[in-house]
């Protein structure tokens, strides 16, 4: 297995538009690395540059520690699974899987063995003799995966491989891809716009926005400790509540909107900030959190409730701003009724309003201490 | 109601097809008449003269012409498929500077009437010493802007990812062209093949200009020779020869039609 490193990579197109700005990524050998971001953030371009399907304007690509900028795609020891699978419609599933191996002059016995193993791993045996158009979306997806597996390339690139599948199949394929990756130990670079895939599949992920990396880290760390308002709003569903606020560092008061104030000392300079809180951290007044004396109590008018089975999503207005809360259990609350709620100050994140960077993350400092102890 | 509609539809279609098919029917009928009978304006032969067909083969070397026509048409068809296929591939899968401009330039040659390039082509062929040779009858037709255009349009529907997947597996341009692009584009190749075969089969002027030797001349010229060799034309014989000329094109159409339909449904289900 091989590592992949991108050093100061920039990509500009002929018309001067910058797609990727000074990208630095270091993907370890055997790691499942997810590139996630909204469409147009450059994540596919990064993947295609690693594959060698697109050139870089500047920067260095190291594959297995060796410069690979000028290598043709076939010499980069990688395989790739495309969003539309890119199967050859005139070949059977079997021929599709081994098509690439023929070019490498690999012995017939080895080809057969690899084919058998891959087919077994993905339960493909019954459809090997059918053509792609006779197969379902999920089966085509597996053929594309099998094609990548039989190549035994140390690096596997996947470009939104699950986006053409229905929700149920997608969930199954998520764990299947993860399982296979663990079993084979390939270095996986996986591009997706789906935050659930990013959260559940990756060892680490990089959140991209407008061609720059916003944050790299373990999915759970990115979720708990977003570095930036973009990451905070992109990861998590429903998204984090982000409210403009002003911090007065003389009176130690945080003013949210016109009327709501929270008296609290923050280790930051006064000024315009953005306050962030995850919907699941806004609790009903009956929650045990409200017993803590540092808890912040407030009341708000509910404008909508959605019961999603085991949890209820509430939308409410606070100072003309729409907030969302996620409560456990099933709550039937009439619209326009006032509801007592509670939040804990340790769940409040403070971002800079100008550049969106994190200013204060109470839990993060604790965590750093834990690590140092 | 539906029945009436169907009946009227078929009536109109039958009448139209009879009108369109009339010359063929008359030719068939006349091919069994004697020369006098044709001139009398009879519609059906009073007495069958199947010997007209033998006559046609005796008057001119019809078999030789038939052979030439088949050879020439096949060479041109495969030449066009190979050259147009490779050109179209280059226009779709090779990314080079000025590709669009070159393509526009390439297809703009479709606007130049063939007659205007005939003389320069003739001079070229003459200088190459290709007069009275198959090469002179076939090579000038290999570069077909229409064929390139047709195939390019189809190749463009092949997802770019297929080529990218091939690149990653280490499959080169030629292998990708032969093993993927050509089989996937079978429908378009058959269409272009039939079109080219029929057009070449029916060319008259160019073979007339570049050949004087009966050993390389195609059928269409042979047909013309039948008419002028005698003072009074034996139309029965001419018609018999004309029908013989038509038969191979019908065979090509029938075979092609089957392939075409197969190809079309292939594409629909993809």
User: Which of A27 and B267 is assigned the larger pLDDT?
Assistant: A27
pLDDT given at position A71: 94
Contact by Cβ (8 Å): B144, B87: no
pLDDT given at position B229: 59
pLDDT exceeding 90 applies to what percent of chain A? 64
Contact by Cβ (8 Å): A55, A45: no
Question: Helix (H, G, I), strand (E, B), or coil: what is residue B170?
Answer: coil
Does A367 score more than 80 pLDDT? no
Contact by Cβ (8 Å): B131, B157: no
| d(C-alpha A294, C-alpha A265), whole Å | 12
Does B233 score more than 80 pLDDT? no
Does B225 score more than 70 pLDDT? yes
pLDDT given at position B265: 55
Min Cα–Cα distance to chain B from A96, Å:
11
User: Which of B113 and B78 is assigned the larger pLDDT?
Assistant: B78
CA B53 vs CA A228, B25, B31, B32, B217: distances in Å: 90, 16, 8, 8, 20
Q: If residue A190 lies in a helix (H) or strand (E), which one and from where to where?
A: strand A187-192
CB contact under 8 A, A90 and B180: yes
Interface predicted TM-score (ipTM) of this complex, two decimals: 0.82
| d(C-alpha A269, C-alpha A254), whole Å | 12
Question: Helix (H, G, I), strand (E, B), or coil: what is residue B101?
Answer: helix
Of A86, A89, A99, the CB nearest to B161: A86
Phi, psi dihedrals of residue A256, rounded to the nearest 5°? -110, 120
Structural domains of chain A, with CATH: 4-229 (3.40.50.300), 230-372 (2.40.50.140)
Does B49 score more than 90 pLDDT? no
Contacts of A53 in chain B (CB under 8 A): 164, 167-168
Mean pLDDT confidence for A256-283: 87
Does A372 score more than 60 pLDDT? no
Contacts of B186 in chain A (CB under 8 A): 90
CA B33 vs CA A43, A354, B21, B58: distances in Å: 79, 99, 19, 17
Question: Helix (H, G, I), strand (E, B), or coil: what is residue A20?
Answer: strand
CB contact under 8 A, A133 and B183: no
A3-59 confidence digits (pLDDT tens): 999 999 999 988 888 999 999 999 999 999 999 999 989 999 999 999 999 999 999
Of B164, B169, B172, the CB nearest to A100: B169
B1-36 confidence digits (pLDDT tens): 788 999 999 999 999 999 999 998 898 898 888 888
Contact by Cβ (8 Å): A213, A183: no
List the A296-307 sheet strands across, edge first.
Answer: A282-284, A338-343, A296-307, A311-318, A321-328
| Mean pLDDT across chain A | 90
Does B259 score more than 90 pLDDT? no
Global confidence as pTM: 0.82
| d(C-alpha B207, C-alpha B216), whole Å | 9
Neighbours of B177 (CB within 10 A): 19
């Amino acid at each position: 297995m091989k590592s992949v490193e991108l050093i100061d990579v920039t990509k500009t197109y002929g018309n001067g538009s910058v797609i990727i700005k000074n990208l630095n990524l270091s993907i370890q050998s055997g790691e499942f690395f997810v590139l996630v971001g909204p469409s147009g953030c450059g994540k596919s371009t990064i993947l295609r540059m690693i594959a060698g399907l697109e050139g870089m304007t500047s920067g260095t690509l190291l594959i297995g520690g060796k410069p690979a900028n000028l290598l043709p795609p076939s010499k980069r020891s990688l395989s790739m699974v495309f969003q539309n699978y890119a199967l050859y419609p005139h070949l059977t599933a079997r021929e599709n899987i081994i098509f690439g191996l023929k070019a490498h002059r690999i012995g017939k016995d080895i080809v057969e063995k690899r084919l058998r193993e891959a087919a077994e791993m993905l339960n493909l045996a019954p459809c090997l003799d059918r053509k792609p158009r006779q197969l379902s979306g999920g089966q085509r997806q597996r053929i594309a995966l099998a094609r990548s597996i039989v190549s035994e390339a140390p690096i596997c690139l996947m470009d939104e491989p699950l986006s053409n599948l229905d929700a149920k199949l997608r969930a199954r394929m998520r764990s299947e891809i993860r399982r296979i990756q663990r079993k084979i130990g390939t270095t996986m670079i996986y591009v997706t716009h789906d935050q659930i895939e990013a959260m559940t599949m990756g060892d680490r992920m990089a959140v991209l926005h407008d061609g720059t990396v916003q944050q790299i880290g373990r999915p759970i760390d990115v979720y708990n400790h977003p570095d930036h308002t973009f990451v905070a709003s992109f990861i998590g569903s429903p998204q984090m509540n982000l409210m403009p606020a002003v911090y007065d560092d003389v009176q130690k008061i945080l003013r949210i909107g016109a009327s709501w104030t929270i008296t609290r000392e923050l280790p930051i300079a006064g000024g315009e900030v953005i306050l962030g809180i995850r919907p699941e951290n806004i609790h009903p007044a009956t929650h045990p959190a409200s017993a803590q004396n540092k808890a912040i109590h407030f009341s708000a008018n509910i404008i909508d409730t959605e019961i999603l089975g085991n949890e209820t999503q509430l939308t409410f207005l606070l100072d003309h701003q729409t907030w969302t809360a996620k409560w456990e259990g099933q709550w039937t609350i009439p619209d326009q009724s006032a509801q007592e709620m509670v939040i804990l100050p340790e769940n409040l994140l403070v971002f800079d309003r100008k550049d969106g960077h994190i200013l204060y993350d109470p839990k993060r400092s604790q965590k750093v201490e834990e690590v140092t102890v | 109601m539906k029945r009436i509609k169907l009946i009227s539809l078929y009536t109109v279609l039958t009448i139209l097809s009879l009108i369109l098919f009339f010359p063929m029917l008359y030719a068939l009928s006349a091919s069994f008449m004697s020369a006098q009978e044709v001139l009398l304006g009879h519609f059906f032969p009073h007495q069958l003269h199947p010997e007209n067909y033998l006559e046609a083969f005796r008057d001119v070397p019809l078999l030789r012409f038939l052979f030439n026509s088949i050879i020439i048409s096949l060479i041109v068809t495969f030449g066009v498929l190979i050259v147009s296929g490779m050109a179209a591939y280059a226009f779709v899968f090779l990314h080079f500077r000025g590709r669009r401009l070159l393509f526009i330039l390439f297809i703009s040659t479709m606007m130049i009437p063939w007659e205007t390039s005939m003389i320069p082509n003739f001079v070229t062929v003459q200088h190459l010493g290709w007069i009275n040779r198959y090469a002179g009858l076939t090579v000038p037709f290999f570069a077909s802007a229409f064929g390139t255009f047709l195939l390019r349009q189809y190749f463009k529907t092949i997802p770019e990812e297929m080529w990218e997947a091939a690149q990653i597996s280490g499959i080169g341009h030629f292998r990708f062209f032969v093993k993927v692009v050509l089989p996937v584009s079978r429908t378009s190749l058959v269409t272009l093949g039939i079109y080219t075969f029929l057009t070449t089969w029916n060319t008259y002027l160019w073979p007339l200009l570049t050949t004087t030797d009966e050993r390389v001349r195609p059928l269409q010229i042979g047909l013309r020779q039948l008419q002028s060799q005698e003072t009074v034309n034996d139309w029965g014989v001419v018609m018999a020869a004309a029908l013989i000329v038509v038969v191979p094109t019908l065979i090509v159409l029938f075979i092609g039609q089957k392939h075409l339909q197969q190809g079309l449904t292939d594409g629909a289900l993809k």
